[in-house]
Amino acid sequence: MGRTPDPISFPDPPRADDLDYPRAGNRFDSPTENFGVCYFASDLKACFGETLSRFRPNPALAAAAEEDDFMQVGEVPADWRNQRIAVQATFVPTETLPQIRFLDVEALATRRHLEHELAPLLAYYGYTELDVPTVRGGDRRITRWIGKWAFEQRDARGVPSFAGIRYLSRLNTEWECWAVFHDVETKELSRQPIEREHPDLTAIARSFGIRVF
């Protein structure tokens, strides 16, 4: 799910000035500003959940909100829907990327290997292991370097080893997500507007306690 008119886009990575902040950018964005990442999910409910999570009402903020505010805490303006479109896409093998393979950070073997590969970096940031809370957590200083490691892997012919990274949402482990690198060719299969009464949208809104206009 992305912004119209080009929902499948690869935004610029965080600026160098932002990279020391754990929350800057998205989870697997480049820490060195040399590649782009576009984020997908396996189903539309996960897309809604990931993108609408920032609207979840904070009880403290809700209590402090003015009663006469035009938009109350936990309300999503209709403009949010109108500026976005839901797209179904697939990833296409090419001569430069003949296999579409993803690094699975949910696999224990993957994390153990990354512990070895990224050991100095983990130690620098005070991590002794690369466990599930770390790869799903909020410290993007770590996960961005996982993204860079995956992006730079090549086989003996110099062909990229990975099209991106498979991971599970930190909000709901039933939501399967994909961080796709900018050099992967995507093919749009279908698109649809985001209607207020879409069943997946209403289900997410209900679970988050938000109201979508």
CA nearest 9: which of 31, 32, 33, 37? 37
Handedness of CA 169, 171, 174, 175 (dihedral sign): negative
The residues, ordered by sequence, that sit 6+ positions from 116 with a Cβ below 8 Å of its Cβ are: none
At 66-113, the pLDDT tens digits run: 554 555 778 999 999 999 999 999 999 999 999 999 999 999 999 999
Tokens of 44: 């539309």
At 157-185, the pLDDT tens digits run: 999 999 999 999 999 999 999 999 999 99
Pick the more confident residue, 66 or 138. Answer: 138
The residues, ordered by sequence, that sit 6+ positions from 58 with a Cβ below 8 Å of its Cβ are: 73
